[in-house]
Amino acid sequence: MADIKTWHDEHTESFGFGQRLADKVASGMGSWKFIIIQTFLVLVWMGLNFVGFVYHWDAYPFILLNLLFSTQAAYAAPIIMMAQNRQNERDRLQAMQDYKTNVEAKEEIEFLTTRLNAIEIEKLDKIIIMLEEIKADRAG
């Protein structure tokens, strides 16, 4: 059996390295795993800076940590937007495929309805002919 590709497979295969990377990063950053790991790292960062009596590389109010978050946000926002743009493109392609499928189904249903109507009419015509023959036999 031939390997049949769906519209989604073809669309996904058209992605370049950057697009696949952006999708993976956006997917990772939008997960509970990322939030939990980041929360843990922030707590460790703060804890080490509070406890470190001799060497505070980022003393309260944690300016360096704030800078790291700003940098992360500066990169995360466009990456997430790229992933959303591709999701919008996937949604448009899926809607177009759904529309084509619906049009084909509608045409098939109309054909079948027409064919069933023709069969029904043929049956009714045969019944009428049989009734007329019965009526003619009884009359004659």
pTM (predicted TM-score): 0.56
Residue with tokens 């309260």: 60
Is there a domain that residue 116 lies in?
yes
Domain assignment present for residue 27? The answer is yes
Per DSSP, the three-state class of 28 is: helix
The DSSP letter of residue 55 is -
Residue 8 lies in a domain: no
Segment 65-90 shows an average pLDDT of 89
Range of the domain at 87: 13-139
Does position 112 have pLDDT exceeding 70, yes or no?
A: yes
Query: Does residue 18 lie in a domain region?
Result: yes
In a domain, 59, yes or no: yes
Residue 18 pLDDT: 78
Q: Is 134 helix (H, G, I), strand (E, B) or coil?
A: helix
Query: What is the rounded average pLDDT of the residues 86-98?
Result: 89
Instruction: Report yes or no on 1 lying in a domain.
Output: no
The alpha carbon of residue 26 and the mean position of all alpha carbons in its chain are separated, in whole angstroms, by 15
Residue 53: per-residue pLDDT = 63
Q: Is 125 inside any structural domain?
A: yes
The Cα 104–Cα 102 span in angstroms is 5
In a domain, 3, yes or no: no
Q: Return the pLDDT at 20.
A: 81
Tally the domains of the chain.
Answer: 1
Tokens read off for 75: 């990169």
